[in-house]
Structure 1
Amino acid sequence: MLMEDLSNDRPTFGKMGYGKIGHVLIRDYSLEVDPNYDFVFYFVGFRCMHYRRRCKIRAPCCNEVYDCRHCHNEATSMFRTIFDRHELVRHDVKQVICSVCDTEQPVARVCTNCGVNMGEYFCDKCKFYDDDIDKGQFHCDDCGICRIGGRENFFHCKKCGSCYSTTLRNNHLCVENSMRHHCPICYEVSSLLLYLFDSLKDTTVMKCGHTMHCECYYELIKREKYCCPICSKSIMDMSGTWKRIEEEIEATVMPDEYRYKKVWILCNDCNDTTEVYFHIIGQKCSHCASYNTRTIGPPVLPQ
């Protein structure tokens, strides 16, 4: 669609992607707009599914133009030949194309030709533009990427290698590079297999320090699965459940042949091994009182 801006003033945009314009000529039709009226600049685009911005990027890896790096990665991941599939490194982007005047230029906040602000939030390190500043974007130098949620609400955990909510400061179990792996439930089953570190979905940190998508965590709870799929530790306070199991055990009498049978167990929560009386409903850890246990062979004594 051919578009020509006939207003005297260059269009300016607020955080929602609106602009004030005078006249717009679209092919052979003339549309006059009150200069004081906030007109949604539909003709500029916002075709990108991921961000609202007024520029496209040229991918240095393949020299193609895309709306954003996620659009690039999703498109290239569908290539038939596996050798053609690749991901765009955000920091390598050098050129952008203004969506208002179609001018290609080095990465910058403002278009060098028409002067439009190409993104209310702009990061020159990540080459990132976004109009929706209500997300609270900020750049974390330790992560090396931009995050959302407001800088004041997050801290960077050096050992875990990622930004966490301030509610987890001194209140979580550190697992080295805990975000540098796929979600153990869904493996981000889409066009790309993304690490949690790069995922656009919300992520939660469990009691054991391992991480997964929030939606996968809630689905796990919904299906009454209360153990981490990686280390098998309890992912929530199970004291109420342990009490109910104990009451059920007390009400269930074992047959004589099993009443005094003992087994060795490994506690998934505290990693302690103990010898306890066998019960069909479950075995209680003598160390931490958890029923998240499994039977193991007896310890082998040194010869």
Structure 2
Amino acid sequence: MAVLAVRMEALLSPLMSGEQFRYAYNNVAAHSHHHVVAGHTSCLDSDVEDDDDDDFTEDLVQAWKLSIGANRYGCTHYKRRCKIRAPCCNEVFDCRHCHNEAKSVNETDDKKRHEIDRHLVEKVICSLCDHEQNVQQVCEKCGVCMGEFFCSKCNFFDDDTSKDQYHCDKCGICRTGGRDNFFHCDRCGCCYSVKLREGHTCVEKSMHQDCPVCMEYMFDSLKDITVLTCGHTLHLECLQEMHSHYKYNCPLCNKSVCDMSSVWKEIDEEIAATQMPANEMRMVWVFCNDCGATNEVQYHHVGQKCGTCPSYNTRPTDAPASLASSRSECC
């Protein structure tokens, strides 16, 4: 077998890199009766016949055909060894994102602007032999694997399996991060980290909308998405951009997006050290964005603290209607 390995490496090295050969060789050996150690093989069964070498050679060639070109083709979005024919415009693109960038984001004619439905893709073109065929993982002409990860439900190919892709039937699309690390929240309508299973606020179809900061649709976005304590969602990079500009409120409901207790204490100290002029001392009504309470509080130009919780995330509001009417009757 050691001689066989040397012979096969000499045969295939002009056609593939050493790394590709080792990948193909070890992949075959791992599923055979041969044991591979540090590039050498030894028979576990002393009765193995020479004919097995021929079988192993055939398996190795087949493995090479499947692995050739891995991670060398594709686009900025995915590494894959095929292109898709868009059923909507009959044009060829590396992936659906490439299509949408060309036909939606960068299309200036409103009448021509459109996006692709991944589930309607029927034809793919092998990147190695240019053969067009029905959607399938292995090219029917040259035998190359067009994607280490392949999902027949949403016609998705990807050679980079380090993403731990999986298909969520309830989402209807493939996601990354590993199936065991996520669960599908039926009310929110999306997959969330298992860390949020018992501790997130449900907002119906929270990710089936545009990011409130950059306005990109989030449900099938390639960017990381974060779930705020209020249940609303936005891109993680957009949240980080907000923080860089000292914005700590949810863009949709204005609730604080992180623990602000230390900030509230600092404001307490600043107010205690700053005396208001007598002519500006008055009571005002405020609504708390964090707890939802409405209170009449002492006005201060540094900030108005909620009368129910420690938050200074408040805004001016009118007195409650019931209280206003009772005061009117008293007058």
1:171 equivalenced with 2:192 (yes/no): no
Q: Does 1:280 align with 2:301?
A: yes
Provide the rounded CA distance (Å) in 2 between the counterparts of 1:60 and 1:263.
61
One-letter identity of the residue aligned with 1:182: D
Distance 1:17 1:69 in 2: 31
Residues 1:72 and 2:93 aligned together: no
Counterpart of 1:227, as a letter, is N
Residue correspondences, number: 272
Report what 1:257 is aligned to: 279
- Rounded to whole Å, the distance in 2 between the matches of 1:294 and 1:171 is 28
**Structure 1 residue 47, shift from structure 2 partner:** 4.3
Deviation, structure 1 residue 145: 0.3
Following superposition, the deviation at residue 103 of structure 1 comes to 1.5
Q: Distance in 1 between matches of 2:20 and 2:235?
A: 28
The answer to whether the 8 A contact 2:201-2:229 is kept is: yes
Task: Please list every run of 5 or more consecutive structure 2 residues that lacks an aligned counterpart in the other structure.
Answer: 1-10, 25-60
Give the TM-score, by structure 1 length.
Answer: 0.83
**Partner Cα separation in structure 1 for residue 155 and residue 299 of structure 2:** 61
User: Does residue 172 of structure 2 align to residue 144 of structure 1?
Assistant: yes
Q: CA deviation at 1:129?
A: 0.4
Query: 1:125: which partner in 2?
Result: 153
Q: Give the one of 89, 100, 119 matched to 1:62.
A: 89
Is this contact kept in 2: 1:44–1:99, CA < 8 A? no
Shift of 1:115: 1.3
Q: Secondary structure at the match of 2:73?
A: coil
**DSSP 3-state at the match of 2:242:** helix
- C-alpha spacing 1:131/1:16, structure 2 compared with 1 (3 Å): farther
Partner Cα distance (1:19, 1:115) in 2: 17
More helix by share: 2
| Structure 1 unaligned regions, length at least 5 | 1-6, 21-34, 189-194
CA-atom RMSD in angstroms: 2.8
Cα distance in 2 for partners of 1:155, 1:133 equals 20
Give the alignment partner of residue 315 of structure 2, picking from 283, 286, 294: 294
Structure 1 residues 59 and 254, CA gap change in structure 2 (3 angstroms) = same
Report the AA paired with residue 279 of structure 2. Answer: E
Structure 1 residues 250, 41: closer, same or farther in 2, change over 3 A? same
Compared CA separation, residues 93 and 235, structure 1 to 2 (3 A): same
CA 1:138/1:16 → structure 2, altered by over 3 Å: closer, same or farther?
farther
Partners of 1:43 and 1:285 lie apart in 2 by 59
Question: What SS does the corresponding residue of 1:113 show, helix, strand or coil?
Answer: coil
* Residue in structure 1 matching 2:113, options 66, 85, 90: 85
Of the candidates 225, 235, 253, which is equivalent to residue 257 of structure 2?
A: 235
Shift of 1:299: 2.3
Q: Bigger radius of gyration, 1 or 2? A: 2
1:24 equivalent in structure 2: none
Taking a change above 3 Å as real, the CA distance of residues 124 and 16 of structure 1, as seen in their structure-2 partners, is farther
- Post-superposition shift, 1:213? 0.8
Kindly indicate whether structure 1 or structure 2 has the higher relative contact order, using CA contacts under 8 Å at least 6 residues apart: 1
TM-aligned CA deviation for residue 258 of structure 1? 2.7
The amino acid that maps onto 1:150 is G
